[in-house]
Amino acid sequence: MIMSDFAFFRFMSNGMLTSQEMQHREEIIRLTEEVLHSKGLQRDASIAKISMEELQDILAKVRELRKKRKEISAVEAEIVNGQQVEADKEVQYIR
C-alpha cells in the first residue's frame, strides 16, 4: 500500500469523501500523492500521525487541485471544439 492509499483510507474511514470522490479513487490517490509530496510527507507513519485538521487541509488541497485540473481540461476541450467548428466552416466555404 502506497502512502496516498493509506491517506485515502483515512479520508474514507473518517467520512470525509463525497460519493463522487470515492468513485474516482485512483484520481484522488494520485492527487493526494502530489499534495503529500509537496508537504514533504513520505511515509505511512507520517500519515498515521496526522491530525484530523491536517488531514482536512490535505483533502482541501486535493479538491482544489482536482477542480483546477477539471477547469483546464474543460478549457482545452472547448478550444479543440472551437477549432473543429472553425475547420468545419472553412470546409463549407471551399465547396
What burial class does residue 82 get, using C-beta atoms within 10 Å of its C-beta: 0-12 exposed, 13-18 middle, 19+ buried? exposed
DSSP 8-state secondary structure symbol assigned to residue 36:
H
Ranking 12-21, 33-42, 86-95 by mean pLDDT, the lowest is: 86-95
The total domain count for the chain is 1
Note the pLDDT tens digit of each residue in 53-80: 999 999 999 999 999 988 888 888 777 7
Q: Does the pLDDT of residue 87 top 70, yes or no?
A: no
pLDDT value for 58: 93
Range of the domain at 17: 3-94
Cell of residue 30, nine digits:
494520485
Is residue 42 within 8 Å of residue 3, measured between CB atoms?
Answer: yes
Q: At what angle do helices 25-38 and 52-94 cross, to 10 degrees?
A: 120
Q: Does the pLDDT of residue 94 top 60, yes or no?
A: no
